[in-house]
Structure 1
């Protein structure tokens, strides 16, 4: 048998010629255990205690390890040879599971191998040992694929240490020689983990009894650091085996050389390397209990400071030696990894500079680059030798520091050739190599994981693009999962990487909605960012079809003059439609608006507001956002809004719903409209009617004026079954049943009278912006409603009776009078609520005055400007009067609308020259009291079109379709995909 270690002159040995003979382990499988590896910190490694792992006791296989020497001190790396006979279990465990048959084994440490391949070989290695009275060897299995949940192992059988010399009698099915555990320790020198070292130190060194005259049992008492190996017939230094960075001391136990044996042990006990290892052993022994109860992480490593008020690493190392001090293993590794401190000369070495002012210029920071061992202490103002500070504390360059800059060159030359410096430099390099190797091993799983994640993210980019593609298309039915996969597979034909990835990875159907939600978050974040960078914003709320939802649309103007109307989200109320719940959810939806961005107005289409709730909602919104006021959106029709408001009253809800169904019927059936006009002419004796046929917001008025013709139309549809389809006939029957009762006729007559009263105000607010005129007409309309409420009930009731010729006489019913009174009161409240704050928008008339009139002749000009300054004190409108006068008299700006003006100011880069005018233009364009300027297709109309095409509506899908232009813009930004994928992954893992 070859010598495992050759002795050096000083009694130590170096593992340059290490050649381990094959070792054989006792194989006695006793049971099979299922081990859940989810609790292990490193899922790629699983420690399995036992003599060996076997599945088939009838098979034998020899496993050996080869040795590759390294450049540093002959330290060996090991490259494992995978056994030729290995059983693999793959299906139910989600990956290949290595099961090593009964074998004899030469077992190298798997964690020392850093393979550059993505998929390492299956390896195993010994980890732990325990001698006296029992011993164990341990093995690590490292899978070539990610371990999923369960690994099957065999429990070990422990053997008494005395059986090492006389191996256990093998079973009939196998041959089971013995193995020497010390060979495992020699190969795994300096690569034990912290937990493994704790176990080894607690168990102590293996100390077998040698059958030799050169050995005495009392040697273990005199030299407690001795460890023995019967197979090698040698003793080793247990301290050096675990902690020495120079080499492992060993000597043979010869038969008749007792004196030489004692001399070798005494000589080694006096060496510096043994003292260093012995100190580390003592520290570990004293801290074993503390370490066991302490969980340390990389992020929590803090280097202790001694003295407490010192922040200088050199000072702390001198006071608390690197080897002898109370540093933990992680702290020592951190010091080695951080490297030497090199403070700057002028800014840091103040003490050194003050004591050597005359030669201050002789030192240059380039010395640090020329001498890689040179370091400095800013606190002491001295230069030091970094290797000597760590490993040779007794010396001028390590303990006291160097201050004589005039002799710096000579001092460096003398120190560089000193033996302590050379030995310390060697030790530092060995430590650096060990730290580097350990770091590489620890980083390898993370690097592999990152590579897998990079490929997954590349794949997800394609998926995100495909999802965006389908969501931006307007279809009646949503795309199916198969549609997504077809597009992805088509793209993969042009991308080999994607094609390869699709073989192992696909995406599930439920992931599509998750990706859509992640895209929604990114879109909303961009909209929020744009809103908070604007000076003014208004809120527009509208009902979503027949659902109990409100769509949230924000309107604002960018600095370049672009008018934005962005859909943000849906607000769902479900069963709780109380005004408090609506208010809470609306305020929560716009809670992101910062103080610098002014919410100047809000509006809604009355769909979810009862007439009496409007005043409460407006007051609470103004209380939360003092600069905001309710306004009438120029795109809303006042008659439609009134009907929406009445639909929230219990006595009108069913009636308004029936009217809405009639509106849809006539919108979709143009033949019915033509037939109705013909029937009306027949009833009037062939004369063409002068009345306007309104089949939308004025349909109730049309019903009131042409009730007989409409009833006759539906009766003919029912009788002429051949001319109309089945669905139309069924609708006609329902409409007859809906319109004929007195209840419906009374509501038709009542609401028609109210719509006629507000007709003038409706047309005025759609065609002309004049706050004073709006206010006057609104007051007149309210007075007319109140007058009708007081005087016209009997007339309206008789009108409802006369719609149908009947012999039955109706007696005056008090119930109808009460309904009439409630409806008229609600209508008057509705008109007052939508027009009471018009005076707060009077400054909007500045837009008309400044473009159509001479400001010097306008009596209201100064009043409006003062009103604007009062309402927005921090917007700098004090200069607006002068800048509007300049606008009115300058030929370049004359005749331009405000949406043209703001773009022109931005293009000429005159925002800083005309700041008040620029902000005033933004203010005018943000508010939509009248259609001064708006996007080509308002967002409210785009939302309505989207609702008509879709049966299934979600907030994410709606946002991606309505804001498709913004989504396309985001897809050109690389950071967009990272944000979407990160949010998607966080949702899967439950992180937020």
Structure 2
């Protein structure tokens, strides 16, 4: 406190010495409680008086004498300290002002002069309840309570404001529910004409009107609103932006808590022929569940490796902060050269930045490549699948033909050049309904109301069903395609891992091997015992038993050879063999040191010594031998609270489970893209498109966020200054 302030407020003692009203001597002579309110405020404003004091102590320790002196630095560290030059001691300013019988008299009357234990005494006094109470009283002195500051008129205004906010939030929550419904079921929000008198205002306005019919408050709002109605396309876009932000924040929070993440990406063209890159994140959430979260569609100017890699790296930089590069442990794409290129592909560009992000070629895509090899390698097989596609094409061209088919068989599934489960459906349908199809084609040829082209094509398909070579391939692939379909369906699941893949691909090759050993003779028995109904077929392409067997062996060998080559584990995927349950007895006899070495080289964050010890124990323990995959073993360890005991094994399991073995989720996102961005909605902005895609793909996440509407409203209210009131006072 300045000398001027001290002198202007000084009091006079009997000896004629002037004392500052905030000095210790003045407060002891004229107690604080006896002063007027104005004088009390003056003392509070002046604060503790801190005159110079000469407190010294002589001390001896280990035959060495020294002197202690009071340091004024204590006043800077403890604002409540005050000193008295008369008593040559220090005191507690708040306790002198509001002293009670429980106060320590050394801090309020006699003063503290013991320098040896000063630090301990100060700490002890600060922890005392009475000291804390006096500090609160001094801080609140002169302050008027909040209730006293608010007069009746202001309180009424606040209450009315909050009531209006309640109404506005209720209305906005209903509008959000309508937007969520349309997004979840991929319905168009806007109609041709959204005016109040329109006969076609769109699904969104129809939902709002339906909700208003059962919600009186919403009905009154729609009839009387002038500032904010909430049904305009601008409000829709702003709400969609807020919903997208809330959902992304939730995904990023889960990613932040995950130990490892992997990405999936694929590109396609939308209805406007614009290149769209889908970006999916895979990780294990806090409840130990596998999550594959759609993050966004990224519009690209072209589909070159440089453009795609730059877009992915930009998104990854926002998801993974600096120093967490090893958290990204895998990247899964299809087998396109632009994605898998070892030197200039997307996977190489990403791995140059994220060293542990190993490339995984989608196993569902590899299965398609295996079957394509079987058809392209053998010309007759390719011709067979081309002929199979002709059945569906024949009937789909004419409603009259389809009507005849419906009477006999039903619909025939078409074929697809990339999704081989479609081929399996076509083969099985033709095989199971061969006699009915023969009857159907004969009916079309005999009826006079069909044109010549229909009769000619029906005759060609009829002769095909009676052809020896076609029947041979039909019977052979009727046995092969169920195994292809089963493997394809298993590869579409989200909760598959490398250990699971090893098991199902091994079963697939074993099944094809079994067919290889037996199918030639079974085919002959099925199709050459008993004549086909009707006139004997004309054999245009005679195939003897030796030719059939040769072709069957070649087809099976091609599939088996390519399956073993493409489904074999190399480099980082070798780690799956360490936790393959059927190999545990073999590993218990001879530990797989080579696989362990490869695993640790790929993932240096693992402790090799401890991991080997943990795996040795798992191989020998009977309770773990029944685990059929990495996910099953992971759930056993986590369910029995063994994550600390097997910490390195759990880390390896998380890596294996997080590594995606298929890009099926990307394909699902493409299906959503085709349904949302249609020909009639081809001018949709990218942000709106992403928000609608997120609401559709992550509809479960939207439902699982308990305060989703509240979060959206908070973001909407703070997005910009709004005339309508959405924030409480």
Give the TM-score taking structure 1 as reference length. 0.39
Distance 1:846 1:452, change over 3 A: same
RMSD across aligned C-alpha pairs, in angstroms?
A: 6.5
1:554 maps onto 2:281 in alignment: yes
Match of 1:572 in 2: 299
Of 173, 176, 185 in structure 2, the residue corresponding to residue 473 of structure 1 is 185
1:910 maps onto 2:642 in alignment: yes
1:603 maps onto 2:336 in alignment: no
What aligned pairs does 1:63-74 form with structure 2 within 5 A after superposition? none
What aligned pairs does 1:922-933 form with structure 2 within 5 A after superposition? 922-929=654-661
Q: Residue by residue, what CA displacement relative to the aligned partner does 1:904-941 show, whole Å, maximum 9, x if unpaired?
A: 4334333333221221221121123379xxxxxx6346
C-alpha deviation, 1:517, in angstroms: 2.1
Match of 2:690 in 1: 955
Partners of 2:280 and 2:294 within 8 A in 1: yes
Distance 1:928 1:956, change over 3 A: same
Partners of 1:471 and 1:961 within 8 A in 2: yes
1:943 maps onto 2:672 in alignment: no
Separation (CA, whole Å) in 1 of partners of 2:237 and 2:390: 33
What aligned pairs does 1:806-817 form with structure 2 within 5 A after superposition? none
Q: Residue by residue, what CA displacement relative to the aligned partner does 1:74-116 show, whole Å, maximum 9, x if unpaired?
A: xxxxxxxxxxxxxxxxxxxxxxxxxxxxxxxxxxxxxxxxxxx
What aligned pairs does 1:223-242 form with structure 2 within 5 A after superposition? none
Match of 1:411 in 2: none
Match of 1:935 in 2: none
1:583 maps onto 2:315 in alignment: no
Separation (CA, whole Å) in 2 of partners of 1:559 and 1:851: 30
Please state whether the residue corresponding to 2:672 is helix, strand or coil.
helix
Partners of 1:541 and 1:604 within 8 A in 2: yes
Of 316, 329, 348 in structure 1, the residue corresponding to residue 78 of structure 2 is 348
Separation (CA, whole Å) in 1 of partners of 2:164 and 2:170: 10
Give the TM-score taking structure 2 as reference length. 0.51
C-alpha deviation, 1:836, in angstroms: 11
C-alpha deviation, 1:568, in angstroms: 0.9
1:965 maps onto 2:700 in alignment: yes
Match of 2:320 in 1: 593
Please state whether the residue corresponding to 2:694 is helix, strand or coil.
helix
Structure with larger RCO (C-alpha < 8 A, sep 6+): 2
Please state whether the residue corresponding to 1:553 is helix, strand or coil.
strand
Match of 2:60 in 1: none
Match of 1:920 in 2: 652
Q: List gaps (5 residues or longer) in structure 1.
A: 1-313, 323-335, 372-381, 383-427, 645-658, 680-692, 703-709, 737-754, 778-804, 806-829, 932-937
Q: Residue by residue, what CA displacement relative to the aligned partner does 1:763-813 show, whole Å, maximum 9, x if unpaired?
A: 999688559x99xx9xxxxxxxxxxxxxxxxxxxxxxxxxxx9xxxxxxxx
Separation (CA, whole Å) in 1 of partners of 2:341 and 2:425: 25
Distance 1:364 1:471, change over 3 A: same
Partners of 1:884 and 1:917 within 8 A in 2: yes
Separation (CA, whole Å) in 2 of partners of 1:666 and 1:896: 49
Q: Residue by residue, what CA displacement relative to the aligned partner does 1:336-366 show, whole Å, maximum 9, x if unpaired?
A: 9xx84767998535873474777656x5625
Distance 1:765 1:468, change over 3 A: closer
Separation (CA, whole Å) in 2 of partners of 1:316 and 1:894: 86
C-alpha deviation, 1:462, in angstroms: 2.9
Distance 1:842 1:695, change over 3 A: closer
Partners of 2:326 and 2:355 within 8 A in 1: no
Match of 1:632 in 2: 361
What aligned pairs does 1:43-54 form with structure 2 within 5 A after superposition? none
Separation (CA, whole Å) in 2 of partners of 1:316 and 1:576: 77
1:534 maps onto 2:258 in alignment: yes
Match of 1:856 in 2: 588
1:505 maps onto 2:237 in alignment: no
C-alpha deviation, 1:509, in angstroms: 2.6
What aligned pairs does 1:96-135 form with structure 2 within 5 A after superposition? none
Partners of 2:350 and 2:357 within 8 A in 1: yes
Distance 1:697 1:987, change over 3 A: farther
Q: List gaps (5 residues or longer) in structure 2.
A: 10-40, 50-73, 101-110, 112-140, 191-201, 374-387, 410-418, 429-436, 459-476, 491-499, 510-539, 541-561, 682-688, 725-729
Distance 1:987 1:452, change over 3 A: closer
Separation (CA, whole Å) in 2 of partners of 1:905 and 1:770: 21
Q: Residue by residue, what CA displacement relative to the aligned partner does 1:275-305 show, whole Å, maximum 9, x if unpaired?
A: xxxxxxxxxxxxxxxxxxxxxxxxxxxxxxx
Partners of 1:536 and 1:922 within 8 A in 2: yes
Match of 2:525 in 1: none
Match of 2:619 in 1: 888
Q: Which moved more, 1:972-981 or 1:456-465?
A: 972-981
Separation (CA, whole Å) in 2 of partners of 1:858 and 1:674: 65
Please state whether the residue corresponding to 1:958 is helix, strand or coil.
helix
Match of 1:489 in 2: 212
Match of 1:620 in 2: 349
C-alpha deviation, 1:762, in angstroms: 8.5
Distance 1:857 1:341, change over 3 A: farther
Distance 1:721 1:940, change over 3 A: farther
Distance 1:699 1:457, change over 3 A: closer
Q: Residue by residue, what CA displacement relative to the aligned partner does 1:456-486 show, whole Å, maximum 9, x if unpaired?
A: 4443233223322332235588763422422
What aligned pairs does 1:373-452 form with structure 2 within 5 A after superposition? none
Distance 1:845 1:695, change over 3 A: closer
Q: Residue by residue, what CA displacement relative to the aligned partner does 1:839-883 show, whole Å, maximum 9, x if unpaired?
A: 2321121121576434332352x2222222222223445422222
Match of 1:811 in 2: none
C-alpha deviation, 1:582, in angstroms: 2.0
Separation (CA, whole Å) in 2 of partners of 1:355 and 1:663: 108
Match of 2:22 in 1: none
Aligned residues: 488
1:524 maps onto 2:259 in alignment: no
Partners of 2:326 and 2:354 within 8 A in 1: no
Q: Which protein is richer in helix relative to its size? A: 2
Distance 1:950 1:884, change over 3 A: same
Separation (CA, whole Å) in 2 of partners of 1:493 and 1:442: 30
Please state whether the residue corresponding to 1:626 is helix, strand or coil.
coil
Match of 2:495 in 1: none
Separation (CA, whole Å) in 2 of partners of 1:988 and 1:613: 57
Distance 1:353 1:568, change over 3 A: same
C-alpha deviation, 1:974, in angstroms: 7.3
Separation (CA, whole Å) in 1 of partners of 2:501 and 2:600: 22
Distance 1:618 1:504, change over 3 A: closer
Partners of 2:255 and 2:283 within 8 A in 1: yes
Partners of 2:325 and 2:355 within 8 A in 1: no
Separation (CA, whole Å) in 1 of partners of 2:6 and 2:297: 66
Partners of 2:332 and 2:660 within 8 A in 1: no
Separation (CA, whole Å) in 2 of partners of 1:642 and 1:572: 32
Separation (CA, whole Å) in 1 of partners of 2:671 and 2:7: 77
C-alpha deviation, 1:604, in angstroms: 2.0
Separation (CA, whole Å) in 2 of partners of 1:484 and 1:618: 45
Partners of 1:541 and 1:551 within 8 A in 2: yes
